Structures are given as structure tokens and as C-alpha cells.
């Protein structure tokens, strides 16, 4: 089975549009116009136009049945921040909140027109007024995973050794080391993002699509056939080798 996937976006609407164009070109060339297009989460934070990314994908999901958008930890951070009683994620390191500079939340709020010089309590109320209800509903409704053939798409990874039906939201959007260092066959090939790398990596049991767009890298779009992964480029498909 053929599927397309896009890594962590982090507010880069211009690069997201390019990724969608590459997928459209490849699907037309290979007769795969019905193949799903899965986004592995982290739509927001750090990049310049998180609001634009959310709106683009909200509309795309409504108008194109191929489009699937998963929940990332940064999407959950924003969703929880704009609840009536703000929630901070317990998985954040001690001392960090959604508004900490390293998290990129302030950049997201600015993209919605929020005055980020406001004091923190006022900032929360301003964010609740600025983020449209349609965006809040869209973020809150994001699925945690999607299965296509021999591939399972998630944001961060899975907890090894735990049946797929018993995986928790916390692990699916936050896990790192326990998953990344495990070389066992997980059953399906796990397609994920969350952990920045220089380029798309295929480890045999998992493939990481987060090519560090939040830190100046590219936004990667791939096509997957069976367990083979190909990076989409303006000149066509480039096989992603399995690392040994």
C-alpha cells in the first residue's frame, strides 16, 4: 500500500504548501491520487505562522478525505493553554511552561494577533479570545495514530513491548529514549516525528520524519510503499536507506 506523510511542521506554512505540492506531483505521476496524506503532528510553535498552518490543515481535512492530521505534543500544549482554566503539560521539564521561550508558544500566540507583551494572566485571556473556536475544536479532535497497511503513524513513538491497543496518549505524543533506542521489531513500521534529526531516518523498525524544520532544517514529505520510504524532492523520489 502507498501512503504519504509529512513531518513536524512547527508553523511553517510556506514549507507545508511546498510539501503538499510535492505530494500532488508524485501522486499524479504514480497514479496514487487516492493515497492518504498523513501529518504526524506538531503543527504549531516556533515557526512564523502557526495560525495559518492550523487553518490550512483544518480546511484541507474538511475538503480532502485523504488528509489525516495527528496530535503532536505542541498541538496539545496550545490546546490546553487556551482552555477556560489553563493547563500546563506535566511532561514539560521543571520550570518550563507553554510560554517559555524555548517552547515557541509566544510565536504561535503572536501569529493569532495576541499582544505578547501582556502579563501572563492577561495573555491567557487574550489567547482565548484570539484563537478561533474552530481551531480549538480542530486541535482537540486530533487522533493519536493512524494505521495504513504495514505502517503505524504516530507523533512521538510507542512504548516498546506494550500492545498497540494499550499505548497511552502520553507516550504517543511525548516518548523519546525508550522508543528511539529500542531495536526490536514493533510489528508495523512506526512512522513518527517529535525528535529532530538532520534528515529523514529509516531504522528498519521505525522512520523519523522530523528533519528539524523548527531549527532551520527542511520540512520533509515522504512516500511509503510497504516498508520502503522515499523522500520527495523537486527532482523525484530519493530512497531513504535503512540504517544499520
In a domain, 89, yes or no: yes
**CA 83 vs CA 113, 127, 216: distances in Å:** 18, 10, 31
Distance CA 98, CA 96 (A): 7
Question: 3-class DSSP state for residue 152?
Answer: strand
pLDDT tens string 99-123: 999 999 999 999 999 999 999 889 9
pLDDT in tens, 77-102: 999 999 999 998 989 988 899 999 99
> Over the Cα atoms of the chain, what is R_g?
17
Render each residue's pLDDT in the chain as its tens digit; 244 residues: 899 999 999 999 999 999 999 999 999 999 999 999 999 999 999 999 999 999 999 999 999 999 999 999 999 999 999 999 999 898 998 889 999 999 999 999 999 999 999 998 899 999 999 999 999 999 999 999 999 999 999 999 999 999 999 999 999 999 999 999 999 999 999 999 999 999 999 999 999 999 999 999 999 999 999 999 999 999 999 999 999 7
Is residue 244 in a domain? no
Cell numbers standing for residue 40: 504526524
Which three cell numbers, joined as nine digits, stand for 12?
511553517
The HSE-up count of residue 16 (CA atoms within 13 Å, CB side) is 30
Q: What's phi and psi for 225, nearest 5 deg?
A: -120, 115
Residue listed under C-alpha cell 528511539? 180
The answer as to whether 231 is a domain residue is: yes
User: What average pLDDT does the structure give for the chain?
Assistant: 97
Domain of 130: which CATH number?
3.60.21.10
102 near 78, Cβ under 8 Å?
no
The structure's pTM equals 0.97
Cβ atoms 130, 114 nearer than 8 A: yes
Tell me if 150 sits within 8 A of 2, measured CB to CB.
no
Residue 33 lies in a domain: yes
Kindly state the DSSP code that residue 220 receives in the 8-state scheme. Answer: P
| Number of domains observed in the structure of the chain | 1
**Other C-beta atoms within 10 Å of 95: how many?**
6
129 is in which domain, residue-wise? Answer: 2-239
> What is the pLDDT at residue 1?
87
For residue 161, is it within any domain?
A: yes
CB 8 within 8 A of CB 160: no
C-alpha cell at 164: 498497540
Task: Select from 40, 22, 42 the least CA-distant residue to 32.
Answer: 22
Place of cell 482565548: 128
Amino acid at each position: 500500500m502507498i501512503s504519504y506523510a509529512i513531518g513536524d511542521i512547527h508553523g511553517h506554512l510556506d514549507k507545508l504548501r511546498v510539501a503538499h505540492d510535492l505530494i500532488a506531483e508524485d501522486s499524479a505521476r504514480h497514479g496514487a491520487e487516492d493515497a492518504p496524506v498523513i501529518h504526524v503532528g506538531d503543527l504549531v510553535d516556533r515557526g512564523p505562522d502557526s495560525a495559518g498552518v492550523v487553518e490550512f490543515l483544518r480546511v484541507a481535512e474538511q475538503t480532502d478525505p485523504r488528509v489525516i492530521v495527528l496530535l503532536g505534543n505542541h498541538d496539545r500544549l496550545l490546546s490546553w493553554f487556551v482552555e477556560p482554566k489553563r493547563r500546563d503539560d506535566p511532561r514539560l521539564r521543571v520550570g518550563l511552561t507553554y510560554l517559555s521561550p524555548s517552547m515557541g508558544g509566544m510565536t504561535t500566540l503572536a501569529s493569532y494577533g495576541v499582544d505578547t507583551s501582556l502579563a501572563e494572566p492577561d495573555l491567557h485571556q487574550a489567547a482565548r479570545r484570539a484563537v478561533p473556536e474552530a481551531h480549538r475544536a480542530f486541535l482537540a479532535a486530533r487522533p493519536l495514530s493512524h494505521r495504513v497497511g504495514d505502517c503505524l503513524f504516530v507523533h512521538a513513538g510507542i512504548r516498546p513491548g506494550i500492545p498497540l491497543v494499550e499505548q497511552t496518549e502520553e507516550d504517543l505524543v511525548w516518548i523519546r529514549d525508550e522508543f528511539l533506542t529500542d531495536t526490536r521489531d514493533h510489528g508495523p513500521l512506526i512512522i513518527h516525528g517529535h525528535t529532530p534529526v538532520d534528515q529523514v531516518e529509516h531504522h528498519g523498525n521505525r522512520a523519523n520524519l522530523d528533519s528539524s524544520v523548527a531549527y532551520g532544517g527542511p520540512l520533509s514529505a515522504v512516500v511509503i510503499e510497504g516498508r520502503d520510504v522515499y523522500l520527495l524532492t523537486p527532482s523525484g523520489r530519493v530512497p531513504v536507506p535503512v540504517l544499520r
